[in-house]
Amino acid sequence: MPKYMDSALVVFTRYPEEGKVKTKLALHIGERSAAEFCRCILSDLIEKHRSHSYDIVLAYTPEEKGEALKSEYQADMYLAQEGKNFGERAMNMYKAVLKKYKKVVAIGSDVPDLDPTQVHKAFMALDAVDVVIGPAHDGSYYLVGMRKPIDIFSMVKGYYPEILRDTLKLLAEKGYSYALLEKKTDIDDIDTFRKLQASLKREQAPLTFDLLKKIKA
């Protein structure tokens, strides 16, 4: 499919370094396996989404790992995350990327089973609504898409069980329209990791699939 310069998929990611990623999960599978897990997911996501009708942007942290990340992962744009907390980093990202693209859909690097068809649905939804959200089973969200920067993150100090509910309430109070995608599971702890081991298909994320078969959890 041809590239269109008006849409971008942003992957929020921390450089996959031992001891710095998936710390809760690392308590069960080890720091090396946790870092390799993140490397595999990021590689699979980029490979799966790279040849579709939207660009890929890597919004990364920490800033000093930028050159290493650029040498290891191919994207159309790289952006160092800026801000003291998730809310600030998210808003700064949307403001920066929406200067170049008309539609921006952002995800974390922990949804290996996210397919291009689901991303296309998010972009299509933005033709009719202000915000599109992919709800996660834990009460948070795995995807947020916008056409203009809307601050739905200022109340966010981190993920908590009611974050999706509070976000939708805020959008309604501010008069913004929104659409919801299907629910998915983002992988943060040993329970969601084990569910992924049982459900992931190789064609969805081959590197991640092969690694999961090697890890005993």
Residues above pLDDT 70, as percent of the chain: 94
Query: Please, are residues 97 and 10 in contact by the beta-carbon 8 Å criterion?
Result: yes
Cis peptide before 112 (omega within 30 of 0): no
User: Residue 157's pLDDT band (boundaries 50, 70, 90)?
Assistant: low
Phi, psi (deg, nearest 5) at residue 60: -115, 160
Domain, as residue range, for 158: 7-212
> Is residue 210 scored above 60 in pLDDT?
yes
Question: Which amino acid is located at 116 in the chain?
Answer: P
What number is the average pLDDT over the span 87-106?
95
171 in any annotated domain: yes
CA nearest to 58, candidates 84, 32, 19, 97: 97
Query: Please, are residues 113 and 161 in contact by the beta-carbon 8 Å criterion?
Result: no
1 in any annotated domain: no
Global pTM value: 0.93
Which CATH number covers residue 107? 3.90.550.10
2 in any annotated domain: no
147 in any annotated domain: yes
List, in sequence order, every residue forming a beta bridge with 133; answer none if it has no partner: 144, 180
DSSP secondary structure letters along 71-138: HHS--SEEEE--SSSHHHHHHHHHHHHTTT-SEEEEEETT-TT--HHHHHHHHHHTTT-SEEEEEBTT
What is the tens place of the pLDDT at every residue in 39-94?
999 999 999 998 888 999 999 999 999 999 999 999 999 999 999 888 899 999 99
42 in any annotated domain: yes
165 in any annotated domain: yes
> Is residue 159 scored above 90 in pLDDT?
no
Counting Cβ atoms within 10 Å, is residue 41 exposed (0-12), middle (13-18) or buried (19+)?
Answer: buried
Structurally, the chain folds into a number of domains equal to: 1
136 in any annotated domain: yes
89/160 Cα distance (integer angstroms): 17
What is the tens place of the pLDDT at every residue in 7-36?
999 999 999 999 999 999 999 999 999 999
Distances (CA, A) of 167 to 7, 73, 83, 163: 23, 32, 20, 6
68: alpha, beta or left, given left = phi > 0 and alpha = psi -120 to 50?
A: alpha
pLDDT at position 163: 86
Helix (H) or strand (E) holding 174, with range, is helix 163-174
